[in-house]
Each structure stands twice: as C-alpha cells, then as structure tokens.
Structure 1
Amino acid sequence: MFISGVGGTGKLFLIEAIKCLVDDIWHPKSGEIMCAIVAPTGIAAFNVGGLTIHRLFQLLIEHEGKTAGYWALSKEAQKRIKMTLKNLKIIIVDEVSMVSNLNLAYLHMRLEDIFGTDEWFGSKNILFVGDLLQLPPVNGRPVFKKISNKLVKTRLGVANAVNIWKETVEYDELTINERQKGDETFFKMLDFVRHGSLTDETID
C-alpha cells in the first residue's frame, strides 16, 4: 500500500498512529521490532523516529557515486536480524520518493532471505508513505520505474525485469490539508510549486 499526500495532510501523524496501535495491541519486548519504521536517509529516519533502510536491513550503501550491489547476509547476521524481526507486523517506509527502484528490489530480496519465503517482501505487510513529486533518489531511478534488463542481470542476477512497484502496490491519498487550513490562496500556490506550474500571475 502507498499512502500519498501533500505536506500537511497528516502522513507523519498516520505513521505515529500505526506505531502506537501496533505497540498497544502486541506489546513488543525490549529490542524487539514489531512496527519497523524506515526511511532512505538519516534525517528522514530521525524525523519519524526510525532507522535508515540500509541500517535495519543491513543493505550496502553506494560509495563515491557507485551503485551498491546486493550481498547475502552471513549466517550469524541473518540469525541476529531474524531474532529482532521475528514478530514483525508491519514495515513503514517513509519518504519513498527518495527510494530507488533498485533499492526497492534489494529490500524485497532481503525480506525474502530473512523470512525464508519467495513471496513479495517476505510476505510482510508493508506501507510506503510519501509524495512522489518530492525529492527523487540521489542516484538511481524512481521507485515506480521498471529496472532495466541490463541492471537486473548485473545487480540482481536474474534474467527478466519486473516492475515491483506496479506489481505490489495499491494507492491511496490523504487529501485534507490541516497545515494550510483556512488559507486557500497559499495552499493553491504551494500546489502550483509542487507541480512545477508556477506562473508570473500566480506569483503576483
């Protein structure tokens, strides 16, 4: 599931509400993660009280602009992460616009490895949150783009590419903007900026 919405529609509030609900229902023990909140950058992860995708799922990061590959975990590392996530109920990925299509594939593969299944994302509930009109991946193609056949062969070791986003994600949108409530003119101007359609008339 992908939940979108412009700034001020309550995406962060929704994430916090889901986290509280999971904790209230299942009462995770110390060191146990039932609601995994992750983001593609350290600042984004800090803002939602989570971890980076790379840290929690132990994915390699790019170095000097070079796209990272995918490496299977050692038996010891896999054992540790399985213990941490053994009762995982949901994964929330915030600021999904900055996640590349290749990193989405790496996340899927890591979850397959951790939970021992070939189902999408290890058969775990996963919620993507963000606005695809905001910042794109620093190095890579947007999460909703199909990975090229060449990249699939060199990075993933498989023959044919699949558009993971299109195959797995349903869409919904938060539409009530509480932040700009009561200021329709300012809200419309921000929407023009968001879509890259700001005109001289709008500025005036």
Structure 2
Amino acid sequence: MELKLADNPTIEIVSEKAFLDALEKTNADALETLSEKQEEYKRIWSTARSVGRDFHGLTDGQKKAFDLVKEGKNVYLTGLAGTGKSYIVERIIEWAQTSGLNVITCAPTGIAALNVGGSTVHRVLCIRPGRTLEKDPHPFVPTDSPLPDCDLLILDEVSMCRMDLFDYLSAVLKIAGKIRKQKGKGLCQLLVVGDFCQLPPVITNEERRFLEEKYGYDVGEAFAFQSSEWAFWNFEEVELCEAIRQRDAHFVAALNACRFGDKNGARWIEQHALVNPLPDSIILCSTNAQARDENMQRLNALKDEEMTFVAHVTGEVLKSDMPTDEELSLKPGARVMALVNNSEDTFMNGALGTVINCDGPGALVRLGLVPFCWTRH
C-alpha cells in the first residue's frame, strides 16, 4: 500500500495511551463509542461457550425460547452456528402440533425452505418474487390461503428476508388477523429464526434504487429488522450461546467474535491453526469460482471415469433457488456434501460423504457409516 502525503506533514508515532488521551480531548463521543465496542467484544468472548459431550435435553437458551413460544410471545431466535436453532424449532413444531395448533414454516429462499421442510415466503403469501418491490403492492389474502387458520408462523433464515418482504408479510398477517378475529381467534404468533451476522438479503442495484425510493433513505443491507413493521411484533430476543456442535469453548468464543467483527477471533484461529493442513481437510474459499476450480482439480485427480448427472426440474424453479448446478460430474472417491435435509432424517444439510459407485442409474454415496443411494434423472 502506498501512502501519499502532501505539504511535508509531520508524522508522530505515539503510544496507545497517548492516542486515547488525545482522542478524549478532541472527540469524547468517539472515545465512548470505542469503549462501548471494546466492552461488547469482552461480553462476546465471555458468553459463547460449549456444552459437554454427555449433554442431553435443552440448553438454557433453547428452554427460554421454548417457554416464550408456549406463552404466546413473538420470538426472534438467533445465535452462532451449532447452537441448536434448528433443533429447538423442531421441538417447538412438535409441541405446537400436539397442542392442536396450525403451524406454517417458511423461508425467504427455496434452498432454506427445503432445509426446514416448509415453503418459500412468496408461496405462502401467494405472490411472485418481484411483487414486494412495487410501490403499492396491495397486500391481500386469497380465499384459499392457509394464513387465516395459521396459529404459529415460523420464518427461518430471517437474515435473508428483505425489509420490503417482511413489511408485506406483516401486512398480510394483519389482514388474516381480521379474519381470525371473526372466528374468535387472535393474531397469528410469529417466530423468526436466523442470524443477522450471516447472509444478508440479495439485492441488485436496480432493487436497491427501488427500495431507497420506497423508504426514502439508504437501506444498507435491507435487513428485515430495518422494516417499518418489525417493531410492531415486539419480538422477545433469545440468543443461543451454548454451542453443541463444537466442544472447544475457546474455539466457540473465537467463532462468535468473528461473527461480530472482532478481529481478535480471526487472530486466535490463525494462532491455533495447523501449519500443514490435514490431507482430507475441507478448504474454505472466498468465492464460488475458487471453490469450483478447487473441486475440479480434486475431481480430475481421481482415475475413474467421470459420470455427469443432469437434474430433473419440475415446475418453475429459479436458478438462485437450486441447491446445486443442473449438471453434476462425479467419480468414485469424490467427496460430496448434502445440501438439503432429508425428509426421513437419513441425512442432514452439511453431511459429508464419499461416492462409492456412479456407473448405474444413480450414485451410491457413503455418508458417514451409512451408504445412501442418490438416483440420477
């Protein structure tokens, strides 16, 4: 990096204490903000923790979320990966259905909807994906909509739900609430799940221009909590801090620090990382192109004949909602990962496996110790 300075300025190297003293005199507000950020980082490092290998039942955070939903509260459930957000949502759904409540589960994208066994928000609302960007989208409840009968609506991966879509969803739920009132029922209960530190909504430049024209300000990432309707639901926030997937408490704290933008988390991971990677370790890539190149190099290194599988697409499916490419090349020995949850709980999203055979009508994949057959179309 080249630093260009004009007019021969004087550069003085000072200690951190001297810098903070000068900052306090010239900009006390900035110093207060810096201090608050440091305190927040300390809290992050201290709150994230792991549970023991022999742990069974619900963590404190999971139990709190469960109890709040049972009390009829609207809940925003968040937390770093591996803290059991999906698990407690499944338990809540089981409880609700056993209690005679009608539950609708949905997500902003097709892939996310597959993982929770639900539908996309657009399908639930009976609208096309672009409708919420219109200046006056006229929220409505179709006569055959399930929303007037819905007692609990679960919105997963809420971080990917754009602000205008959440506003539209809220407006439709209010209309459905008027229908429910005629039947002696209250407004639908809302449980939103996700982590705003993870994937934001996808916004094109044209959509951003439309959103800023609609809302009258810079919408930034256009998260759901920025919407006009978010405050109406008065969410009880529950952050899960007890990691179940990871057993190293220090690693969990470092991951949580990275999640909130604390560079010390990345430094901790770098300091404790192996100098030489394990032979079968997973490589994290910053772009899809890098991941594709790495995968092709590994695939080409295998000696067996390559087989190409072509997806069978039913109905209108956006390419952005497809879990994987329409054409998938495999060889025996290739490492693969499940991209959706199996409805029969045979495998879960993220499960790793190895291709055993792929010269027939399908591919035989060993996931862990259980072979799984994936049929080619």
Question: What TM-score comes out, normalization by structure 2 length?
Answer: 0.42
| Structure-2 separation of matches of 1:180 and 1:193 | 15
Match of 2:259 in 1: 194
1:23-64 deviation per Cα after TM superposition (whole angstroms, max 9, x unaligned): 2221xxxxxx8111111111111101111111111233138x
Match of 1:98 in 2: 160
Q: Mark the CA change 1:167 to 1:18 in structure 2 (over 3 Å): closer, same or farther.
A: closer
Q: 2:107 aligns with which of 35, 39, 57?
A: 39
1:84-115 deviation per Cα after TM superposition (whole angstroms, max 9, x unaligned): 34432201111111112211110011112233
| Structure-2 separation of matches of 1:179 and 1:107 | 33
Q: Mark the CA change 1:87 to 1:175 in structure 2 (over 3 Å): closer, same or farther.
A: same
| Structure-2 separation of matches of 1:164 and 1:185 | 34
Q: 1:203 aligns with which of 270, 279, 286?
A: 270
Match of 2:133 in 1: 67
| Structure-1 separation of matches of 2:90 and 2:135 | 32
CA contact (8 A) 2:133 2:164 kept: no
Q: Mark the CA change 1:56 to 1:177 in structure 2 (over 3 Å): closer, same or farther.
A: same
Q: 1:7 aligns with which of 81, 95, 106?
A: 81
| Structure-1 separation of matches of 2:162 and 2:176 | 21
Q: 2:222 aligns with which of 131, 135, 141?
A: 141
Give the number of the structure whose residues are more often strand, by fraction: 2
Match of 2:291 in 1: none
* 1:109-148 matches, cutoff 5 A: 109-116=171-178, 123-139=187-203, 141-147=222-228
**Which protein has the larger Cα radius of gyration, Structure 1 or Structure 2?**
2
Secondary structure class of the residue paired with 1:171: strand
Match of 1:174 in 2: 240
Secondary structure class of the residue paired with 1:186: helix
Return 5+ residue gaps in structure 1 as ranges. 27-32, 148-162
| Structure-2 separation of matches of 1:174 and 1:16 | 15
Secondary structure class of the residue paired with 1:60: coil
Return 5+ residue gaps in structure 2 as ranges. 1-74, 204-220, 272-377
% same residue: 30
CA contact (8 A) 1:143 1:165 kept: no
Match of 1:156 in 2: none
| Structure-2 separation of matches of 1:35 and 1:70 | 29
| Structure-2 separation of matches of 1:70 and 1:113 | 16
1:138-189 deviation per Cα after TM superposition (whole angstroms, max 9, x unaligned): 1261111255xxxxxxxxxxxxxxx5337622211222110112x1233233
| Structure-2 separation of matches of 1:15 and 1:2 | 12
Q: 1:89 aligns with which of 151, 160, 183?
A: 151
Q: 2:142 aligns with which of 78, 85, 95?
A: 78
**1:19 equivalent in alignment to 2:93:** yes
Q: Which has the higher contact order (CA 8 A, sep 6+)?
A: 1
How far has the Cα of 1:201 moved from its partner? 5.3
CA contact (8 A) 1:70 1:106 kept: no
Runs of 4+ in 1 over 6 A off after TM superposition: none
**1:50 equivalent in alignment to 2:124:** no
Question: What TM-score comes out, normalization by structure 1 length?
Answer: 0.73
CA contact (8 A) 1:34 1:87 kept: yes
Pairwise CA RMSD: 2.8
Aligned pair count reads 174
CA contact (8 A) 2:167 2:227 kept: no
Q: Mark the CA change 1:108 to 1:167 in structure 2 (over 3 Å): closer, same or farther.
A: closer
